[in-house]
Amino acid sequence: MASSEIEVVSDTQNQHSSRVLNGSSNEINIVDVFSASAYGDFDKLRKFVEQDGCSLSQPDGNGYYPLQWASLNNFPDITQYIIEHGGDVNAADNARQTALHWAAVRGSIAVADVLLQKGARVEAADVNGYRAVHVAAQYGQTAFLNHIVVKYGADYDVPDNEGRSPLHWAAYKGFADTIRLLLFRDAFQGRQDKTGCTPLHWAALRGNMEACTILVHAGSKHELTVKDNAGFTPAQLAYDKGQRHVAFLLSNAQRTAGSFFGGKVCFGRIENIGYAPIMLFIIVLLIILFINSVIGAPGLTKVTAVVGLWGWVAVSLAICSLMMFYRCSSKDPGYVKKSEGSTNNTDVEDSLLNIELNSTWVGNWSQLCPTCKIIRPVRSKHCPTCNRCVEQFDHHCPWISNCVGKRNKWDFFIFVCLGTLTSFIAAVVTIQSIRTELPARLAEKWIHHVVVEHPGRVAFLVVDTIVLIGTGALTIAQTSQIARNITTNEMANVARYGYLRGPDGRFRNPYNHGCRKNCTDFLIHGYTDDNEIAWPSLQQTTN
């Protein structure tokens, strides 16, 4: 991939940026129709046109038109005035860019409406083959792109002169929301440009981790293995350019393609089925060891009734743990169904056209799932292992081979609490039974005796201690998160979610109603109501 091809993006951005006038009309002299249009000085523009007879159809010395300046800086009233007084809505500068191209730089939707309703060509292309959709993708203007696609039928998958679609540009620039929108609308992810590069190649080249993650989860194995004209796969290209973190992600995705794409099971690969069978084996093994080696051992004649009672309590709790293990493993964690996530199950166009009528939509483009093709609630996340979107996604737990979400988090919490309590009681009973059996022996002798004569108890204590540490840590973590009404996923990705930041940019959880209400709602209902937020401003998120 030649460096000159990469520089095309930067040159285009610099060209547009140089056209943006900084400051206000109070700081500069408005001397002509061009500066008046650029700074939105309607009164002076009317004076230049109506009193001085200045033309609005002629370009300035650089070939730029008043209509382009007004469009760039989002002045719809001035845009309307210019068109009504002789401005050509399709006038193009030396690079053959129209006012619509300029409006796309800053995402001027109101101006785009004026231009397109007055006859602007939505598919007008400049010398590089860039249409308004390309420019919008280059600048991450997701709302603008969606608007001209839905309302005016712009082709969101059209290639430019180099064979690059808007998805290529969004991937290269790392605009995750734009990528989600394009994939949500079924933009072709496997398109190769003239250099043989797919959007994933371009994302890997720039080291855009989030862009690569979205493309990988929404794509197929083909995009991971396709080679550019130089013979590089996306992973190889990332490694060649020093993007080690991206190269690791792509290489790992290629190795475990079965778990990323559709959840297919490959025999011999335990990560595709999770560790639930191992967890089930451990629980059953501990119950058997505890009964045979502790409360039912023939050599433990001095076990008191209290110790024996607590031993059977531990066994009962272990059986309850097995029941909760089954529940949280088999229960729907809160999969977002298409009927809940979109206004139409089969028509993505209708879903976008009626997006504001969708009860789940709060203005975040990250709510669009390009894989499931649904509009999901804010705190939902697509699980690549389950290949489904999960409401109030907490985490995917391999030990239960299931996600933990809105519908089964209560079951999971009870499971880990029971696991902690059971392990603790069983460990205490085991230690107490050993102490009552050999109270007079020296430590070295009775430890040696227990290891030699009762290896089952030793094995039980070792495994039980490991389980106690794991479940205890989970219990503490889950209790803390429930008290604050925040998920494991949100804790791990707090910097990525805008709704977890207040107006001052600091961490602020809009769903935290205080420890008492958070815990009460969770324990009574099994989940908290996301419609009730502590503060009303949900900023745009990324997932």
DSSP per residue over 33-96, as a string?
HHHHHHHT-HHHHHIIIIIS---SSS--TTS--HHHHHHHTT-HHHHHHHHHTT--TT---TT-
Coil, helix or strand for 512? coil
Alpha helices in 185-304 (DSSP H): 199-206, 209-218, 221-225, 234-240, 244-255, 257-260, 276-290
**Whole-angstrom distance, CA of residue 498 vs CA of residue 331:** 31
Catalytic choice (397, 403, 417, 519): 397
Contacts (Cβ under 8 Å, ≥6 apart) of 370: 179, 180, 182, 183, 184, 214, 218
451-481 burial, b at 16+ Cβ within 10 Å, e below that, comes to: eeebeebbebbeebeebbeebbebbeebeeb
Task: State yes or no: is 397 an active-site residue.
Answer: yes
Contacts (Cβ under 8 Å, ≥6 apart) of 219: 189, 190, 200, 261
DSSP assignment letter at 356: G
**Whole-angstrom distance, CA of residue 13 vs CA of residue 367:** 28
Per the CB < 8 A criterion, the answer to whether 169 and 135 are in contact is: no
Question: In which element (H, E) is residue 403 found?
Answer: strand 402-404
Q: How many residues does the chain have?
A: 543
Per the CB < 8 A criterion, the answer to whether 262 and 387 are in contact is: yes
Coil, helix or strand for 321? helix
Q: Is 226 left (phi over 0), alpha (psi -120 to 50) or beta?
A: beta
Contacts (Cβ under 8 Å, ≥6 apart) of 335: 386, 388, 389, 390, 391, 405
Alpha helices in 404-454 (DSSP H): 409-437, 443-453
| Residues marked as catalytic | 397
